[in-house]
Structure 1
Amino acid sequence: MDTLHHPEEIIERIGGCGRFQVFLSVMSHLLKLPTVLSIYLMVFSIATPNWRCADAEDESSSMSIFNTVSYYSNFTIGNLTDEVSLDSDNGTKSYNNFKNCKNRNGTQCKNVVYDGDMKTIVSEWSMSCDLPWVPSTIASIQMLGIFFGNLVSGQLADSFGRKFPLFASLLLLIIANLVGYFSSSWLMFGVARALCGIGMGTYLTVQYSLVTEVSLPRWRPWIVAFPTWPILACGFALVSYLMPDWRKLHILATVATVPFLCLWWFVPESFRWHLSHDRTHIAKDIIQRIGKFNNRVVSDETVMELLNTTVIASPSGDKKKYSFIHLFKTGKLAKITCLSAVNWLALGLLSYGIQYGIQALSGNFFLNLFLFSIITVPATFIAIYLSNAIGRRKTVVLTYTVSTVGCLLVGIVQYIDTDLRDSLTNGFALFASLGIGIAWGPVQLMTLELYPTVVR
């Protein structure tokens, strides 16, 4: 009777963690650049620069009152803060209505003036008073696109392999960011962000399947959890600070994505996927290519013997096409799917909630964006160690606990009357972001390893 093998044994025979695995891991992390740029582009694009209502300034140009000495005072009516000043030279009184859409007489502000060089869709299409709901709506549309991309790419990855949807997502991001750059209205921009969401959702779903399926379990935490994402996000914070224009950033994202399409000719399909679809000879060729890359040449006879006795786990023991319904094919799979869904829901709500909430924090937008990214980098290495030392599940529980404590403290601080409220809010939000940033690696890794190849 033949001895049954598992795919890990084949990987060991062709080099384990060899040059090919290192090459593919580096490529998978570099491929994050287009998605990081596209996601944080949205965070920047819907940010609201400092602004004021200038209606009172226009009115004051025809007024001449209190022709006396200069004075300056602040007063607040509801949520309206005016700065009132009198010019002693011409006796002109002016009002600067900061971040308020109602004038002192209750009328709607007609002349919104944005300060500084920061150009976003809010300032370009003057959304602060007339269309305040549009930025958050477009962000929601993008999130729906990500959700749709998640669903569709799973079926695509089973039907056509991991490689096709991965590179299709890059092509879609190029098209979407170009459409975003040429947008002449917020409706057109919303369509562009929906397409971006589909591309990002597709990439995020299949990104690690390709690389982890040719890697050994002990190296997967390093492959999945290495903090490339926050490092690239720090880079975006710097680039957006130097070039604070949403259109130029869209062009940058487009140009930066194009070179990655060339990797199509260097990245092979997963041999596990070919095995699960009875394409043994194609799998053999890929394995030999990997072995040659790793200086581990294996004969045709040896490879075929290994493949013919290799077990690819299946929820029902058969060989056929798989679909979304197979996530619930058995009681065990249904349990894994339901619990993983809750896990990912919490991860997404916290992560994206914090990302899109950065603009609401006090202080400089670009500095906050940098801090919320850089804080994750050193802690991620701890998560990599813990994933191997205490397991994926315990690491996830620990990181979620950190995030929960941080979020609770942010909420509590809002009910405390103190001059340090803004600083404490930023600090505790950073603490929550630290936990959820670390959680991404173990959560992705645990999800990948819980499902068999044919369902993954």
Structure 2
Amino acid sequence: MDSYDEVISFLGEWGPYQRSVFLSISIIIIPNGYLALSMVFLADTPPHRCQLSNSSADETFLGNLSLPLPTEEVGGQQVYSRCSRYRAGQDLGSNGSTLVTERCLDGWVYSTDRYVSTIVTQWDLVCDQKWKGPFTTSVFFLGVLFGSAISGQLSDRYGRKVVLFGAIALRTIASLLQLASQSWEMFCVLYCFVGMGEISSYIAAFVLGIEILSKSERVAFSTLGICMFYAFGYILLPILAYYIRDWKMLLLTLTMPEFLYIPLWWCIPESPRWLLTQGRKEEAEAILKYAARKNGVSHVGPIFMTIHSDMDSSKHSRSYLDLIATSNIRNVTIILLWMWLICTIGYYGLSLNTPNLHGDPYINCLISAASETLVYVMVWRLMRISPRRMATAGPLLFSGTMLLLIHWVPSTLQFVITTLVMAGKSGATAAFTIIYIYSLELYPTVVRNMGVGVCSMTSRIGTVISPYFAYMVAQIGILAFIVMGSLMVMAGLVSLLLPETHNKPLPETISQMQPMYCQVHARVGSPTHSDRRD
């Protein structure tokens, strides 16, 4: 019996139909590149000081230390105290060390040198409330966690296309409502829904493209398509933020392009693979007829009867229990969950450490985003020629080694340390990209979106705790890099146990999955009795 890829080979590899799908789905990913990291600018904390009790609310910041306020040392410089002022009624001409201070009872005055406003200045998220700034990002990732938990099952049940555009609508509506937020709490609740829509659209788009495009174009779609357009969105963020310094106008500018995606509903088809698993052969056949017509080839007539038996056996309702239904898929799932968790900690832990670098935040963000485009090109070349196991293990081991080497670099050689950190981040970026592709190829069609969804859900635990790794870097430096480096090396070694999927057809049912590497020599191509279940 022919595989799905062989059955539809008459369409060709790279015709107008495939190019249209490739570009349409890739463009949808652009907002994902700036949604999560937009808090770098939306929630940045500008220099601030207490508002004086006997002054008007519209007083300027005045950073020349000419005001009667206590000072403190920050970064080797004397600045106004950010959270205290002298209590009223005292002789300010006396020795400053004998004066009594108090909290900023009348609010704060913020520097407008860099920002007109941020959510920090909007709701005074400073001093006792400063934990709310980074917690806002954590709330977004909690939404990503929830979205990962439910989007996979929804997509496997109702379709990739429905979930994709539903998620785009969710994040767009939630982002627009954020502009009308009356409180920080309201902003956070809505931001949680933005996170749910962000990850749901990303996973659905990734799976949809992988299932529609031919085997030879999947790697290009995953790297030069999805990931490269993600990087384009990331690059847009510092450029737009540089010219738009008000948080509401910036958020509005980042949200409005979502409406341009409405016409793509008629350009992007549903996954024929998924339609077949639901027994909807007529709809799948209609999509292939349209694809053949667009590519200028002759449709060979009804073609899905050849895979009738496999698809019919997979029509029953699926659940997350199917991810541990057999020993083979259970072992694959356990290893992938571990790898996704570590890749996420490495990528976001090192990315969130970028603000600790000296220099202009707009330039730092732009350099970080641009460097990712180079990594994606390298990953594309690597995935075309290298076995998946080695392509996954290599960047993980490289990233971990670079971070572990920091232990032997003298603290005075900051340039060398920064170079090793950026090299480690590049390895983590490559691994994070490859693990998406590898996971999609490992899981069969009947549970593919669900499998990637639960992996993504687990990885979001890493995103929630990754800011604390960045905090550890600021507090204890070398030890934090040793912990992250050790985890990356362990993940690289464990990845060598996974099955090889390079140049192999995508499995449609659980029984068609490649066996674990440690089982290959024992019974190549002959799964155990328990693994024959669909």
TM-score, normalised with respect to structure 1? 0.84
Structure 1 residue matching 2:446: 3-state secondary structure: coil
Per the alignment, residue 387 of structure 1 pairs with: 383
Q: In the aligned structure 2, how far is the partner of 1:218 from the partner of 1:199?
A: 30
Structure 1 residue matching 2:44: 3-state secondary structure: coil
Give the stretch that moved more between structures: 336-345 or 355-364: 355-364
Amino acid corresponding to residue 245 of structure 2 in structure 1: P
Per the alignment, residue 287 of structure 1 pairs with: 288
Per the alignment, residue 265 of structure 1 pairs with: 266
- The Cα of 1:177 is off from its aligned counterpart by 0.8
- The Cα of 1:277 is off from its aligned counterpart by 1.1
- The Cα of 1:379 is off from its aligned counterpart by 2.6
- The Cα of 1:158 is off from its aligned counterpart by 1.1
Structure 1 unaligned blocks of 5 or more: 60-70, 84-95
Per the alignment, residue 219 of structure 1 pairs with: 217
Q: In the aligned structure 1, how far is the partner of 2:377 from the partner of 2:8?
A: 25
- 1:455 matches 2:447: yes
Q: In the aligned structure 1, how far is the partner of 2:240 from the partner of 2:122?
A: 20
Q: In the aligned structure 2, how far is the partner of 1:134 from the partner of 1:175?
A: 23
Percent of pairs with identical residues: 25
- 1:246 matches 2:244: no
Within 5 Å, give how 1:3-402 maps onto structure 2: 4-49=1-46, 51-54=47-50, 83=78, 96-97=79-80, 107-110=102-105, 112-115=108-111, 116-118=113-115, 119-226=117-224, 227-300=228-301, 304=302, 306-310=303-307, 317-402=313-398
Pick closer, same or farther for the CA change 1:251–1:286 going to 2, 3 Å: same
Q: In the aligned structure 1, how far is the partner of 2:408 from the partner of 2:246?
A: 36
Pick closer, same or farther for the CA change 1:292–1:201 going to 2, 3 Å: same
Structure 1 residue matching 2:80: 3-state secondary structure: strand
Pick closer, same or farther for the CA change 1:80–1:270 going to 2, 3 Å: closer
- The Cα of 1:332 is off from its aligned counterpart by 0.9
Per the alignment, residue 432 of structure 1 pairs with: 424
Q: In the aligned structure 2, how far is the partner of 1:283 from the partner of 1:153?
A: 22
Q: In the aligned structure 2, how far is the partner of 1:202 from the partner of 1:455?
A: 16
Structure 2 residue matching 1:5: 3-state secondary structure: coil
- The Cα of 1:309 is off from its aligned counterpart by 1.0
Structure 1 residue matching 2:346: 3-state secondary structure: helix
Pick closer, same or farther for the CA change 1:231–1:275 going to 2, 3 Å: same
- The Cα of 1:135 is off from its aligned counterpart by 1.5
Structure 2 unaligned blocks of 5 or more: 56-65, 87-96, 449-534
Per the alignment, residue 93 of structure 1 pairs with: none
Confirm or deny: 8 A CA contact 1:158 1:321 kept in the other structure: no
Amino acid corresponding to residue 31 of structure 2 in structure 1: P
- The Cα of 1:287 is off from its aligned counterpart by 1.0
Structure 1 residue matching 2:365: 3-state secondary structure: helix
Confirm or deny: 8 A CA contact 1:47 1:359 kept in the other structure: no
Structure 1 residue matching 2:268: 3-state secondary structure: coil
Q: In the aligned structure 2, how far is the partner of 1:309 from the partner of 1:394?
A: 35
Pick closer, same or farther for the CA change 1:266–1:318 going to 2, 3 Å: closer
Q: In the aligned structure 2, how far is the partner of 1:141 from the partner of 1:30?
A: 26
Structure 2 residue matching 1:454: 3-state secondary structure: helix
- The Cα of 1:136 is off from its aligned counterpart by 1.8
Structure 1 residue matching 2:181: 3-state secondary structure: coil
Q: In the aligned structure 1, how far is the partner of 2:119 from the partner of 2:84?
A: 18
Structure 1 residue matching 2:128: 3-state secondary structure: coil
Give the stretch that moved more between structures: 121-130 or 183-192: 121-130
Q: In the aligned structure 1, how far is the partner of 2:309 from the partner of 2:353?
A: 43
Q: Per-residue CA shift, 1:362-388, capped at 9, x if unaligned?
A: 221111111111112123212111112
Q: In the aligned structure 2, how far is the partner of 1:102 from the partner of 1:16?
A: 69
Per the alignment, residue 90 of structure 1 pairs with: none
Q: In the aligned structure 2, how far is the partner of 1:360 from the partner of 1:248?
A: 26
